[in-house]
Amino acid sequence: MNGIHDMGGMHGFGKVQVDDDTVFGADWQRRAFALVETLAWAVPYSTDQHRYAIECLEPVNYLKHDYFENWIEATETLLIEAGLVDRSELEAGVKRFDINCENHAPVGPQTLVAATRAGAEMIFPADTSTAAFHVGQRVRVLNTHRQGHTRVPGYVRGKCGLIIRNGGIFQFADSLAAGNGPDPQHCYTVEFTSTTLWGDDGSQGDTICLDLWEPYLEAI
């Protein structure tokens, strides 16, 4: 979606606060992070569904609110959509109805840490699909403007770049965020020259590389 989260190239945000390397500045941010990680199991939701819920926040709030508050607000949305809490509970800060946890089991500490330490394979065997493009080929990013979650930043849409790597076959974020399963696709690293993306305001010789799934690209 063409949302406020899609920041590549925007003006107006000032200098980078290079000395602010805070990870958690307050304990509530720790709790917020932990809630998002644990509720992903019980609700459940995928990382891509959570990202999309963040992208759908009110743009003004996205900018005004703290990063971890945005994470929490997105999780509240996902809890409400799953019927597990309602708005009145969140406003009052108290539980008003019980739920059947049979399909929403809480994750225990050992399971959560073990799974986090292990990670989740997101790649699929190389022989499960044929690549449409090859390394060294020039491609154009499709100029699409769908409402749903996508991982094509606006600043490369319609632009031409060079495939420098076929990274393999990966679960497809657009499909996962829409609740349609992994729909594995080849994912390529595409290199764009700075001047292709930014014209005279780019810098000669510099490049920008993005990992883009095959459905985002067309041959030229």
Partner 1 sequence: MAKKSHGPNKHGHDHGNDDGHDHAHDPLEEGAALRVRALEEIVVAKGLVDPDALDAIVEYYERETGPRNGAQVIARAWTDPDFKDWLLKDGTAAINSLGFSGYQGEHIRVIENTDTVHNVVVCTLCSCYPWPVLGLAPAWYKSPAYRSRVVREPRVVLQEFGLNLASSVKVRVWDSTAEVRYLVLPRRPPGSEGMDAPELANIITRNGMIGTASV
| Subset of residues 77 to 96 that bind partner 1, contact rule: CB under 8 A | 79, 84-85, 89-90, 93-95
Q: Which is nearer to partner 1, 81 or 206 (CB)?
A: 206
Q: Does 173 bind partner 1 (CB under 8 A)?
A: yes
Residue 118 burial by Cβ neighbours in a 10 Å radius (0-12, 13-18, 19+): exposed
The sign of the torsion formed by the CA atoms of 173, 175, 177, 181 equals: negative
Q: Does 206 bind partner 1 (CB under 8 A)?
A: yes
User: How many helices (DSSP H) and strands (DSSP E) are in the chain?
Assistant: 8, 6
Task: Rule CB under 8 A: choose which of 80, 107, 131, 142 binds partner 1.
Answer: 107
Q: Does 155 bind partner 1 (CB under 8 A)?
A: yes
Q: Does 208 bind partner 1 (CB under 8 A)?
A: yes
| Rounded least distance, CB 19 to partner 1, Å | 8
Which residue blocks in 102-191 are alpha helix, DSSP H? 109-118, 173-177
Please give the Cα distance from 59 to 17 (Å, whole number): 22
Is residue 167 a contact partner of residue 212, using CB atoms and an 8 Å limit? no
What tokens does 4 get?
């406020």
Q: Does 157 bind partner 1 (CB under 8 A)?
A: no
Please give the Cα distance from 155 to 152 (Å, whole number): 8
Q: Does 104 bind partner 1 (CB under 8 A)?
A: yes
DSSP state of 148: S
Q: Does 219 bind partner 1 (CB under 8 A)?
A: no
Among all chains, which residue has been given the structure tokens 């569904």?
49
Q: Does 186 bind partner 1 (CB under 8 A)?
A: no
Q: Does 136 bind partner 1 (CB under 8 A)?
A: no
Q: Which is nearer to partner 1, 140 or 151 (CB)?
A: 151
Number of residues in contact with partner 1, rule: CB under 8 A? 103
| Rounded least distance, CB 219 to partner 1, Å | 20
